[in-house]
Amino acid sequence: MLTLKNITIKTNKDRVLIDQMNLTVIQGDRLAIIGEEGNGKSTLCKMIVDQNFVDPSFSISGEIKKDRIRIGYLPQQLSDIVLKTLLNDFLLKDTDGFLDYSKQADLNLWLNRLHVNVPLDHWEEPMSQLSGGERIKVQIVKLMSEDPDLLILDEPTNDLDLSTLKNARRLIIE
């Protein structure tokens, strides 16, 4: 379960983006945060994942309880470091930094379900060589392989093709 209590987010110019928000998310819940650009949606997502991700120009207050949940987070943009990372390393490295090739078959199944055809010789290329939509799909595959309790996807549809958008709910929920 995820609980947000009295969350307030302000800009460094004291513009209030979110004021005293309360929210509880339980297993099985699905929600979307919808609003105009610049109103704190991404900041709220980052805050839930890790307050250290939030730009220091924002003032945040309130309480977040994450009751031992594993959070999978898809950021709006990949960092330069991740773009330089080899696809192989991005998908197969475990938390200790070792390549876990036992996951490759399952990852290939997910990639195929999302219509990403990555020949084995391309697994040694950097993430930057993939199209924007392929990068999103690869990130979703990595997140799904980590079996998170909660997925936070920050504008995941920006680079996806129409076919994937139509099938996204079915692909992720199955």
Q: Say which CATH number the domain at 143 has.
A: 3.40.50.300
Count of positions (residues) in the chain = 174
Cα 66–Cα 72–Cα 76 angle in degrees, nearest 5: 115
What per-residue confidence (pLDDT) applies to 171? 46
Q: How far apart are CA 95 and CA 160, in angstroms?
A: 28
Closest C-alpha to 45, from 69, 65, 73? 73
Domain identity same for 92 and 56: no
39 and 61 inside one domain: yes
Element (H, E) at 6: strand 2-10
Q: What is the mean pLDDT of residues 77-88?
A: 92
In what helix (H) or strand (E) does residue 87 lie, and over which residues does it extend? helix 87-92
pLDDT of amino acid 5: 97
Residues 54 and 83 in one domain: no
Q: Are residues 89 and 136 in the same domain?
A: yes
The per-residue b/e assignment along 14-43, b for 16 or more CB within 10 angstroms, e otherwise, is eeebbeeeeeeeeeeeeeeeeeeeeebbbb
Spatial contact of 6 and 63, defined as CB atoms under 8 Å apart: yes
Domain holding 80, by residue range, is 71-150+157-174
- Per-residue pLDDT of 18-57, as tens digits, reads 999 999 999 888 888 888 888 889 999 999 999 888 888 9
